[in-house]
Structure 1
């Protein structure tokens, strides 16, 4: 069994196995700048299933305990959708026990999502863990480092996670792909005037600039929301508009953020976690997509109107902050200003 070279270890399509038989996440090595040598791919352990290594199907109605290794990513949006795939499994087999093994250096706001979700899905365990701690008799599935799996770039994200867990995506109805489990988590109530006051919400910033709404378009979006609904527009970040309020300081954690989205009359956002949260609470939404087609993200969200900007220069790019990429994205939004984009996009079902 040969070791991966350091660059291959960081981009391995799955989790890693150390010399000491510890299972760990490439992400934890990367963000800690720890040496990435001396690791095998966990897919070399034949009893651990990895769909990228070899596709498989599972009848979850007969499974007592499933161990989900290195799931479901280190971003908020990916995690919401990955947990939706687990929710589809729980609906088929409510008695199944799930243990989710997580990168221990994931951002704190992502960890908070899993803590909120734990009463629904089961135990959370930080990596690394010894391979022998996962019983051979239980189902063990590795979905680690999924960003580097080829199918992640070619399948709608929910279908990808279902496939990676051994389910046929076509066997899961669209309603069960819309993050409805979010409605079951414990959330705080809004405080002060917003507890009983309507507002629309503007969430322009994705996890990467190339998929965010450029600042030059922020005032345009806020103004259209005000003209359509005539209720205050709340959002995250400064926008120069008399009817807009920056609520960043009132959203101190992930539970707060979800609550703000849940209670909005309408949401305007980009290819970011907010669009997935809104779907879980049936909040009407318009979402702007640049480098990733909307079909890959919001296909099953019936209350979401997607606007796909044709930006061929960045097509398929998951992340970028390059000046040249952001220039063409901003150019596409400037062209959108000249259209009547809001007339059909801003509506409440």
Structure 2
């Protein structure tokens, strides 16, 4: 899609989205008077970065998810610590990237309307616009979130684990006000994700300590992974949705249905009647409802434990509290 046409599409859907009603104290027109060009500025910066490096779309989507699952959507994932004990220093977050996109968008906003737009709102918009750049689904992003001042490494323990079974994952999501459908739908974001051999090493080489692989995995898929990941290779990249990693579509559910989910957290979606049924429906219908479902779940995610009103602050720089 040409950049000019993409900009036109984003403007159009932004206008159409104004009719959507929202809870909380967020508003689609929150910056209309104080920074009317806020969304356009973020959009322009995001397009500049993601059009050059499309893999940033998955990275920025993941960053937004990780932010909202720890202390809520408050931008705490963006904070740095002189002692390296902030959220971004936790093991699950060490592979996060794309901070420069958020920082660039925030810097552009500060020049236009200083002290107005929160870093949390910037991250929320960047994640959405990045997905749209690669022709993924659009969702409305009501605005007005405030930035948190606290970021603790230990709090990242609340992130859903790639090694978790269905019961633990459901508990993670329920704790954030998200349901079982949100769990399976948002897992579909793995359609554009990549990981590394280190996170699947034990799953394909020594699952129970006896030199075996996880029986929940398709044996042919395990053989393919072993060709990619040698026993001592913990760094090579692995696609989460083989054959479709550059395209945001429902192909991920076909992979999971074939028992080719990369992580336990992918495979275990077949262990629950509701998540399994959703996967089977997407496979049989060619993902007919996935784009809308993903948009709906992302809208819900953006409301998780938000700070509004006089809570928190509007950071001048996203990596540091004022």
Question: Does the TM-score normalized on the shorter chain lie above 0.5?
Answer: no
TM-score if structure 2 supplies the norm length?
0.30
Greater fraction of residues in helix: 2
- Of structures 1 and 2, the one scoring higher in RCO (CA 8 A, sep 6+) is 2
